[in-house]
């Protein structure tokens, strides 16, 4: 993903739209765009694992929720300095990711999916049992945090802060993916045995990327708590974990931008259909099935191809012992 | 804490474990033979309860409604297998997870559209109400004893089917090497449809029997599915024996921890510990064995 050429132009257009459009359309759409940016950030953290590391996590919502709870609780306790609460929320999420990852990453393939789902459920039940924090109903925040001299109470200001953070996260993730560490991670994804044979033990590398992704999900969670001024166990539900995976796939895995577009598509789909029916899931479920069975590419992949902006995106390769041999002779993914 | 209470809870634990076994064995069979991870398995549990409720309203007879609910679940399973699962056999786990997750979303919403969002209580069949004294001074509901017995019978029948019949031999052969089974002229597609329908009916059986104890509501299968996945992780993915041992461990551990933990620790954290107990058990098993207790397939 270079910053030049057609792909760069495409990114520039998307960013320009993200900067200019929402405030122009009014408060409702500003809040809507804020949601997209936050879920996009969470979905991006899933893509770091899914697309670049081949780890199918079905528990990222737990880390998102932990970030939301940490930020929310600190805010309720009166710690409203965003420069303090948000990093703390990230830290707490990273610690949870360390614990969950240390155990889950002992398993591979199908088991990893089940184990991440199970540990996420454990965190969910833990949040549900916090009676002092509203139990199943969750709790509200008295106010948003503030960034030194900037008040975040205004929806437009808050949107731009979230947008800046999202861009920073994308740049950071891009840096990580292209670094030597990122190359090792992709090498492990493509062939774990070979990577180990040339001196890169998979486990610590996977654990580090799992914790980084957990931190990003935690930041997204902290932003969500501030955006909605409300936190509940629903932020950790297994449905949300699944929806994050769906966003990545709808938008194109292995691309960093795709998950954000996927989040935009998902939320827009929900928003538009909700006008007609409360049963929008009745349509989203089959749409997801159809995407998996019938369509080869996600939104970003289609956009890139439609505009003729360089190479095609690879479908994500996953940590799946049976597929290892097959994966060995196909080329690594898209980011070049 | 009396001995009677402890024994009663042990019975409950075994009964819950057997229900989990009926669920987990479907997950593990479908994975072991078809190499598909099926997140829609919880929907089949849920549909079992709904179908029974609907069939009861229609026929007003448990004798007719229970077979009808089974047929309904089996039909749904056959359609699902042909339309959605078949294309998934040659796909990676990500596609399987997403497609079956999409199905779960669909079914949870579909039952909401048809029967509403409110939980629907199911009553215990009149001929199974009442209780008996297993140990003096402690009455135990007949219904719970009956569903325990039914689950045991279902488990035995499944064992006989797999160990003693021609279909069972094909199932075992198919889990070892499906290409060879297909090359020997066996209709592997038909075999897969049968296995999927069988696992669906076991899930529906659990859903039907748990209906009166829990309640029938949208998403009712989701927590059960996740517990069944925990069972499969503990028991070893693909192993039927592992599913049985894992299910009994989880069932008994969960039930007893709900009774015992509050007796020992009485703080705010008690309910948190109770809800998390099963997952701690899973974590401990994973610490000692990466592939579960009875790994049928490595990796």
Give contacts of A285 with chain B, Cβ < 8 Å: 102-107, 109
Return the pLDDT at A57: 92
Among the listed residues A309, A335, A32, A332, the one whose alpha carbon sits nearest the alpha carbon of residue A191: A332
pLDDT computed for residue A8 by the predictor: 79
Nearest residue of chain A to residue B89 (CA atoms): A293
CA distance A252 to A261: 8
Burial of B239 (C-beta count, 10 Å sphere; 0-12/13-18/19+): buried
The CATH number of the domain holding residue B224 is: 1.10.3470
Q: Is residue B298 part of a domain?
A: no
**B225: contact with A, CB 8 A cutoff:** no
B162 found inside a domain: yes
Residue B293 lies in a domain: no
Per-residue confidence of chain A (336 residues) as pLDDT tens digits? 444 577 778 888 888 888 888 778 888 888 899 999 999 999 999 999 998 888 999 999 999 999 999 999 999 988 888 888 999 999 999 999 999 999 999 888 888 998 999 899 999 988 988 888 888 888 988 888 888 778 888 888 899 999 999 999 999 999 999 999 999 999 998 888 898 898 899 999 999 999 999 999 999 999 999 999 899 999 999 999 999 999 999 998 888 899 999 999 999 999 998 888 888 888 899 999 998 888 878 888 888 888 776 554 454 555 555 444 444 434 343 332
Q: For residue B105, is pLDDT > 90?
A: yes
**Nearest C-alpha neighbor of A32 from the set A272, A245, A194:** A272
Q: Does A327 reside within a domain?
A: no
How many domains does chain A fold into? 1
In this structure, is residue A69 part of a structural domain?
A: yes
Contact A247, A262 (CB under 8 A): yes
Domain holding B273, by residue range, is 3-120+137-288
State how far the Cα of A231 lies from the Cα of A37, in Å rounded to an integer.
Answer: 18
Q: How far is B56 from chain A (nearest CA, A)?
A: 26
CATH number of the CATH domain containing A96? 1.10.3470
A317 lies in a domain?
no
Tell me the three-class secondary structure of A298-327, residue by residue: CHHHHHHHHCCCCCCCCCCCCCCHHHHHHH
How many Å lie between the alpha carbon of B31 and the closest alpha carbon of chain A?
Answer: 9
Judge whether B286 and B280 are in contact, CB under 8 Å: no
Residue of B nearest to A125 (CA): B275
Please judge whether A118 and B233 are an interchain contact, meaning their C-beta atoms are less than 8 angstroms apart.
yes
Q: Are strands B138-141 and A139-140 parallel, antiparallel or unpaired?
A: unpaired
Q: How far apart are CA B78 and CA B164, in angstroms?
A: 24
Residue B129 lies in a domain: no
pLDDT at A316: 53
**pLDDT computed for residue B298 by the predictor:** 42
Q: How many domains does chain B have?
A: 1
Whether A18 maps to a domain, the answer reads yes
Q: What is the pLDDT of residue A144?
A: 85
Let me know if residue B165 belongs to a domain.
yes
DSSP string computed for A202-225: HHHHHHHHHHHHHHHHHHHHHHHH
Round to whole Å and give the CA distance between B119 and B111. 11
Is B127 inside a domain boundary?
no
Q: Tell me which residue of B156, B154, B158 sits closest to B168, measured CA to CA.
A: B158
- On whether residue A51 sits in a domain, the answer given is yes
Domain coverage including residue A206: 5-312
Closest CA relative to residue B258, chosen from B3, B46, B4, B5: B5
Residue B218 lies in a domain: yes
Considering only residues A311 and B214, tell me which one the structure prediction assigns the higher pLDDT.
Answer: B214
Q: Do B99 and A286 touch (CB under 8 A)?
A: no
Token pair 């969670």 is found at A221
């Amino acid at each position: 993903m270079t910053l030049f050429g057609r792909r760069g132009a495409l990114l520039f257009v998307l960013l320009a739209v993200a900067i200019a459009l929402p405030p122009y359309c009014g408060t409702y759409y500003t809040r809507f765009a804020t949601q997209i940016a936050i879920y996009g950030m969470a979905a991006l953290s899933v893509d770091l694992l899914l697309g670049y590391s081949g780890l199918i996590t079905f528990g990222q919502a737990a880390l998102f929720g932990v970030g939301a709870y940490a930020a929310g609780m600190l805010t309720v306790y009166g710690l409203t300095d965003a420069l303090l609460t948000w990093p703390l929320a990230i830290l707490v999420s990273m610690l949870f990711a360390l614990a969950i990852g240390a155990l889950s990453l002992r398993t591979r393939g199908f088991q990893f999916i089940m184990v991440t789902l199970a540990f996420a459920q454990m965190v969910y039940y833990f949040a549900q049992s916090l009676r002092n924090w509203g139990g199943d109903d969750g709790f509200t925040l008295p106010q948003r945090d503030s960034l030194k001299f900037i008040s975040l109470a205004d929806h437009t200001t808050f949107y731009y802060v979230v947008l800046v953070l999202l861009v920073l996260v994308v740049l950071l993730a891009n840096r990580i993916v292209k670094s030597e560490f990122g190359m090792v991670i992709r090498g492990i994804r493509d062939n774990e045995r070979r990577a180990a044979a040339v001196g890169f033990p998979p486990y610590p590398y996977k654990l580090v990327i799992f914790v980084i992704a957990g931190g990003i999900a935690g930041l997204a969670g902290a932003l969500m708590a501030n955006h909605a001024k409300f936190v509940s166990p629903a932020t950790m539900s297994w449905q949300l974990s699944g929806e994050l995976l769906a966003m990545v796939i709808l938008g194109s895995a292995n691309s960093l931008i795709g998950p954000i577009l996927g989040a935009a598509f998902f939320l827009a789909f929900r928003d538009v259909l909700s006008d007609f029916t409360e049963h929008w899931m009745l349509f989203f479920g089959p749409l997801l099935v159809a995407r998996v069975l019938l369509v080869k590419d996600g939104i970003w992949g289609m956009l890139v191809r439609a505009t003729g902006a360089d190479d095609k995106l690879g479908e994500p390769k996953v940590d799946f012992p049976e597929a290892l041999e097959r994966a060995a002779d196909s080329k690594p993914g898209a980011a070049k | 804490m009396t001995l009677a209470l402890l024994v009663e809870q042990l019975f409950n634990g075994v009964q819950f474990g057997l229900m989990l076994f009926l669920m987990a064995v479907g997950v593990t069979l479908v994975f072991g033979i078809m190499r598909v991870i099926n997140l829609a398995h919880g929907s089949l549990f849920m549909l079992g309860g709904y179908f029974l409720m609907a069939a009861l309203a229609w026929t007003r007879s448990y004798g007719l409604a229970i077979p009808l609910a089974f047929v309904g679940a089996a039909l749904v399973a056959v359609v699902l297998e042909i339309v959605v699962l078949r294309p998934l056999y040659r796909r990676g786990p990500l596609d399987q997870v997403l497609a079956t997750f999409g199905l779960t979303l669909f079914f949870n919403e579909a039952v909401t559209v048809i029967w509403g969002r409110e939980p629907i209580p199911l009553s215990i069949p009149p001929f199974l109400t009442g209780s008996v004294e297993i140990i003096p001074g402690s009455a135990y509901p007949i219904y719970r004893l009956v569903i325990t017995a039914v689950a045991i019978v279902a488990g035995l029948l499944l064992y006989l089917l797999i160990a003693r019949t021609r279909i069972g031999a094909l199932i075992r052969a198919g889990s070892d090497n499906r290409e060879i089974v297909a090359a020997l002229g066996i209709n592997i597609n038909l075999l897969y449809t049968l296995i999927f329908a069988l696992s669906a009916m076991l899930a529906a059986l659990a859903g039907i029997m748990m209906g009166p104890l829990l309640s029938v509501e949208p998403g009712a299968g989701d927590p059960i599915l996740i517990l069944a996945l925990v069972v499969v992780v503990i028991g070893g993915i693909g192993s039927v024996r592992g599913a049985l041992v894992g299910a009994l461990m989880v069932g008994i551990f969960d039930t007893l921890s709900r009774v015992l933990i509050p007796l020992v620790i009485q703080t705010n954290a008690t309910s948190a510990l109770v809800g998390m107990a099963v997952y701690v058990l899973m974590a401990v098993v994973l610490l000692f064995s990466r592939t579960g207790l009875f790994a049928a397939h490595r990796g």
